[in-house]
Amino acid sequence: MHSRMLNWNTDCIDCMAIFNCELCYECIDCEDCYGCAFSESSKNCSDSYFLRDCIGCSNCIGCTNLRNKRYWIFNEPHSRADYERYRGALDFGSHAALSHAKEAFEALFAAEPRPEMEAANVENSSGNYIRNSRNALSCFQVANVEDCKYCDHLTNARSCMDVSFFGVSETNELLYECEAVGHGTFRVMFSKLIWGGGRDIAYSYECFASNQLFGSSGLKRKQFCILNKQYSEAGYHELKARIIEHMKDTGEWGEFFPMTMSPFSYNESLAGDLMPLTKDEVLARGLKWQPQPKPQKSKLHELPDNIAETPDASAGLPLVCETSGQRYRIERQELLFHRKLGLALPRLCPEERTRRRFAKIALPADKQRKCSDCSNSFTTAFDPVRHPKVVCSKCYEKYVD
Ligand SMILES: [Zn+2]
């Protein structure tokens, strides 16, 4: 719930780009984690809070760059009894106490360097958040990909370029300029929402388990269709070749559908989160802009400070975001989740929470930077304003404990 870019997770809320996690809250770029909250870029960790770049850790609080540690607090080892005493004194169920803790841990994170690239088990790759991949160039949030370039949020793919989302099960191969394509697709171009073994498809939308389609939409288990009309195999190939020749003359062949065709406003789409533009910049490109509702000036209802004192009746009440002034509400499922984890309910609307998570991640663009500790140069996704300290992979090793 209230999350973006998830794969194979259970019972997680307010997370972004996590894989195979369970009972996690406010986690970003984590994999195989259980019962973690407010953690980033960590793998195989459990029952921990405020971790960053940690692997194989459990029962840790406020730690960065640790490997296989237990009962560590602020990057210092403790006995189990000391850890439990400290954890018991931290009442994350209280909004006031949790806000105070967040400030302290965020100051700790800000002082720590980021590695030039967040990646695990990769070869000859660039971009960020890459796992188990080789020759993944300028890729973001990809896993199990090979020979891919300019792809994001893609798993299980080979020889793909300019693909956004999703791949997932089975291998997906030879995709070009696609969005939301996966589950065993092959040779798909300039298309969106194609899955279920789709092959040899171009300029199509929302077609499933189909082959040999051109300019079609909403088809299931079809083949040799152009503009949704059924042709013989020979007729299909002959007409398709003529249309491509015409599109080459008009300059339309070889490009994805223009952004001006999108029914969505730029500032309500993922593009607006990943590559923010001002209203004037959006309108100048001929794109749509969604005006925001007027902020609410006064509070409508007040939540008790502590989740332990929050009654069932709080679910569904209209609340006002402390930052944006937008109205929002807590769902019953959310209230139960926060009770289970003993974490205070959010005082920000889901959109503001998402905006803050985006502000923490590296956005998909390569920047040339110099290591903060030595003279090495490298391309990195971490921009100098949000992430002032970035070190090369060699220097990063000395920060890992
Ligand atoms: Zn260095």
Residue type, 103: E
Whether residue 258 contacts residue 246, with contact meaning beta carbons closer than 8 Å, is answered with no
Residue 105 confidence class, pLDDT cut points 50, 70, 90: confident
Quote the DSSP letter at residue 367: E
CA–centroid distance, residue 395 to ligand 1 (Å): 4
CA–centroid distance, residue 208 to ligand 1 (Å): 48
Alpha helices in 55-139 (DSSP H): 80-89, 95-111
- Between the alpha carbon of residue 313 and those of residues 2, 166, 240, 335, 340, the distances in Å are 21, 38, 60, 10, 17
CA–centroid distance, residue 116 to ligand 1 (Å): 9
Q: What is the dihedral of CA 304, 305, 308, 313, to 10 degrees?
A: 20
Residues 6+ apart with CB under 8 A from 291: none
Question: Which H helix or E strand runs over 355?
Answer: helix 350-360
Q: What is the pLDDT of residues 159-180, one digit of tens each?
A: 999 999 888 878 899 999 999 9
Residue 293 confidence class, pLDDT cut points 50, 70, 90: confident
- Between the alpha carbon of residue 33 and those of residues 154, 195, 347, the distances in Å are 20, 29, 25
Burial pattern 33-52, b for ≥16 Cβ within 10 A else e, equals bbbbbbbbbbbbbbbbbbbb
**The pairing of beta strand 119-123 with beta strand 127-137:** parallel
71 closest CA partner among 93, 37, 46: 46
Q: What is the pLDDT of residues 62-75, one digit of tens each?
A: 999 999 999 999 99
CA–centroid distance, residue 394 to ligand 1 (Å): 6
Residue whose structure tokens are 């030595």: 374
Which pLDDT does position 292 carry in this prediction? Answer: 83
CA–centroid distance, residue 375 to ligand 1 (Å): 6
CA–centroid distance, residue 117 to ligand 1 (Å): 13
Supply the pTM of this predicted model.
Answer: 0.83
Alpha helices in 199-341 (DSSP H): 233-250, 270-274, 279-284, 332-341
Cβ-based burial of 311 (10 A; exposed 0-12, middle 13-18, buried ≥19) = exposed
CA–centroid distance, residue 372 to ligand 1 (Å): 7
194 closest CA partner among 214, 172, 174, 209: 209
CA–centroid distance, residue 390 to ligand 1 (Å): 9
- Between the alpha carbon of residue 383 and those of residues 163, 214, 379, 386, 387, the distances in Å are 23, 40, 10, 6, 6
Whether residue 93 contacts residue 82, with contact meaning beta carbons closer than 8 Å, is answered with no
Residue whose structure tokens are 């944006």: 324
Cα(43)–Cα(36) distance, rounded to whole angstroms?
11
Which pLDDT does position 363 carry in this prediction? Answer: 77
- Tell me the HSE value of 138 on the side-chain side, using a 13 A CA sphere: 12
CA–centroid distance, residue 16 to ligand 1 (Å): 29
Is the pLDDT at 269 greater than 90, yes or no? no
CA–centroid distance, residue 112 to ligand 1 (Å): 14
Q: Which residue has the higher pLDDT, 22 or 381?
A: 22
CA–centroid distance, residue 392 to ligand 1 (Å): 4
CA–centroid distance, residue 147 to ligand 1 (Å): 27
CA–centroid distance, residue 278 to ligand 1 (Å): 36
Which pLDDT does position 286 carry in this prediction? Answer: 95
Is the pLDDT at 150 greater than 90, yes or no? yes
Which pLDDT does position 137 carry in this prediction? Answer: 93
Cα(5)–Cα(111) distance, rounded to whole angstroms?
27
CA–centroid distance, residue 399 to ligand 1 (Å): 11
Q: Which residue has the higher pLDDT, 6 or 350?
A: 350
